[in-house]
Amino acid sequence: MSESRNFIEEIIENDLASGKVKEIYTRFPPEPNGYLHVGHAKSLCINFGLAEKYHGKCNLRFDDTNPAKEDEEYVESIKRDIEWLGFKWDKLLFASDYFDVMYQCAVTLIQKGLAYVSDETAEEIRLRRGTLTQAGEESPFRNRSVEENLKLFAEMKAGKYADGEKVLRAKIDMASPNINMRDPVLYRVLHATHHNTGDKWCIYPMYDFAHPIEDAYEGITHSICTLEFEDHRPLYDWVVRECGFAEPRPQQIEFARLNVQNTIMSKRFLKKLVDEGKVMGWDDPRMPTLSGMRRRGYPPQALKNFCERVGVAKANSEVEESYLYSCVRECLNLTADRVMAVFDPVKVVLTNYQGRETVSVENNPNAPQITTRQVPFGKVIYIDGSDFSLDPPPKYHRLKPDGYVRLKGAYIIHCDEVVTENGKVVQLNCSVVPGSRSGSDESGLKVKGVIQWVDSETCADVTVRKLQSLLNDAVAGETDFSLRFNADSMKTVSAKVENSLLSAKVGDSFQFMRVGYYVLDRDSKKGSLVFNEIVGLKDSFKQ
Ligand code: ATP
Ligand code: MG
């Protein structure tokens, strides 16, 4: 980890050094209205990462104050994704656990003359709010008595009013230069069944009221959120203070959200893709969701490295997709076994070779400990069409008529004869160079090219999904994702692979030698394996 500190770490270190806080406490507060995406990974890495670094704690708190859009499925998926990244929450909480506390806080504000019940519609409130240059206009209900407000608020809770008929507003300052301070709405009437509290409540707190109370109640020291909440901070501080929470109070800190080029960071649009069947589900390997990335074979450590290296900024920016791929590749390079696969099979008959044997192939030359496996080898093999050229350019080191190449882990072969049908190469008759077996080569031949191959008797036919971004490149100024949707982002091809892959488990990742990284998908069945392309081998990211 780099020694330099980001601005949030500086704040935390100062707070620890000054004794303002003894132990840091953060929280990750997702709204359970969709699956987590790579942007959330950034927030997870900050909140859980800081807690780990400074030996503090981090809560997982579901922000379920909006009953209409939330679902148990999302709660479970979020927990699974956080565990997958390897983070451990201290307490698992729901904003709805605090509905009683919040109600009491609202009553406190009313008693202090700092909140009132208003009969205005949302539209009337908006019209009276004023503008950046013009003060707002006071609500006609602003000066209701404490007693009347207490009675009306209790009636709101008791279900006397219809949705939208009344709201509870804070009484702050209609002339504040910060529009968020112009008597913001704290509670609304909403007759909806909540996934956690059922029909107990028909009034629900607004985010700006609920969030600071949850933070303060839990003893959160640093409440880290994205930049768009910067203007809400005075209201956050007001709520914590006026509701009577003691010092040290939580401190809101804003950072710039993560944006990745050609990547959808809107749960709403991701949900639309799922609902309209444009993808195979939230965990479609093309989705920028954490469950999609898991299914795609991205190692969790790669995502953490990515978030760490992108850093924490105070200004919005966009990170190149290739940077993420580069982090994925770096991890897989150390962990993924090299195996042999052939996408465009050309049959090779080794005319002077009889019998069968197994040859030893290294699993991963970059692993901390090098292991090998035995791969069956026989008279008829397949090589990839792209490793043979009838009309090779200069310095072509793969197979060509009357040329030599080494078969990975096995022998050097010579191409004696090319069999074509209608101009297409259908078979290569080759001979094995005597004494050229890998590891005990006595042939004296210097051969530059080494290519992958599979044994025709034992190889398996598998399906491979080639994946591209769900979005086409941005056209300048275009913000509507649906106009950029890449309908051609998944192509299915077949390949022949060595038989060691028959014992692979769902989620196992491999490097198909000289091609790219692939992961076994859960759609695989016995005898019909399906692999997802994780990332190619070439790194186009310039560090
Ligand atoms: P929506 O507004 O669509 O519900 P959201 O992105 O605000 O989505 P939340 O579930 O509220 O989603 O987010 C949980 C946490 O993740 C929040 O603290 C939010 O600031 C953070 N977060 C969301 N998107 C990003 C992002 N792209 N970069 C960094 N943090 C993010
Ligand atoms: Mg949100």
| 68's tokens | 């209409």
Q: Is the CB of 431 under 6 A from ligand 1?
A: no
Ligand 1, atom 28, lies closest to the CA of 257
Segment 113-137, tens digit of pLDDT: 999 999 999 999 999 999 999 999 9
**Number of neighbouring beta carbons within 10 Å of residue 230:** 13
Q: Which residues pair with 493 in a beta bridge?
A: 464
Query: Which residues have a beta carbon within 5 Å of ligand 2, which is an ion?
Result: 31
pLDDT tens for 511-520 read: 999 999 999 9
Taking the C-alpha atoms of residue 431 and residue 414, their distance in angstroms, rounded to an integer, is 5
Separation CA 342–CA 348 (nearest Å)? 12
Report the nearest atom of ligand 1 relative to the CA of 257: 28
User: H helices of 136-206, where?
Assistant: 146-158
Coil/strand/helix, residue 16? helix
Q: Which two tokens stand for residue 131?
A: 């503008």
Mutate to test the pocket of ligand 1, among 31, 215, 310 (most ligand atoms within 8 A of CB): 31
Ligand 1 center to 421 CA (angstroms): 58
Q: Is 364 in the pocket of ligand 1 (CB under 6 A)?
A: no
Ligand 2 centroid to residue 63 C-alpha, Å: 8
Cβ–ligand 1 contact at 211 (below 6 Å):
no
C-alpha 77/C-alpha 85 separation (Å) is 13
CA of 30 to the centre of ligand 2 (A): 7
The pLDDT value given to residue 1: 47
Mutate to test the pocket of ligand 1, among 35, 43, 273 (most ligand atoms within 8 A of CB): 43
CB of 342 within 8 A of CB of 501? no
Q: What kind and span of H or E run contains 243?
A: none
43 lines ligand 1 (CB under 6 A): yes
**What number of other Cβ atoms are within 10 A of residue 456's Cβ?**
17
- Per the DSSP assignment, residues forming a β-bridge with 254 are 225
Residue 472, pLDDT score: 86
- Which ligand has its closest atom nearest to the C-alpha of 267? 1
How far is the centre of ligand 1, averaged over its atoms, from the C-alpha of 39 (Å)?
7
Tell whether ligand 1 has an atom less than 6 A from the beta carbon of residue 42: yes
The helix or strand, by DSSP H or E, that contains position 533, with its residue range, turns out to be strand 530-536
Q: Check pocket membership of 226 for ligand 1, CB cut-off 6 A.
A: yes
Q: What is the pLDDT of residue 4?
A: 82
In tens, the pLDDT along 436-482 reads 999 999 999 999 999 999 999 999 999 999 999 998 887 766 677 77
Q: What is the pLDDT of residue 477?
A: 64
Of the candidates 204, 296, 219, 205, the residue with the CA atom closest to the CA atom of residue 251: 219
Q: How far apart are CA 462 and CA 465, in angstroms?
A: 10
Question: Would you state the pLDDT for residue 473?
Answer: 80
Query: What amino acid positions are annotated as catalytic residues?
Result: 31, 257, 267
Closest CA to 226 of 459, 28, 521, 424: 28
Under-70 pLDDT residues of the chain: 1-3, 69-70, 476-478, 541-543
Instruction: Classify residue 245 by its DSSP letter.
Output: P
Q: Are 83 and 294 in contact (CB under 8 A)?
A: no
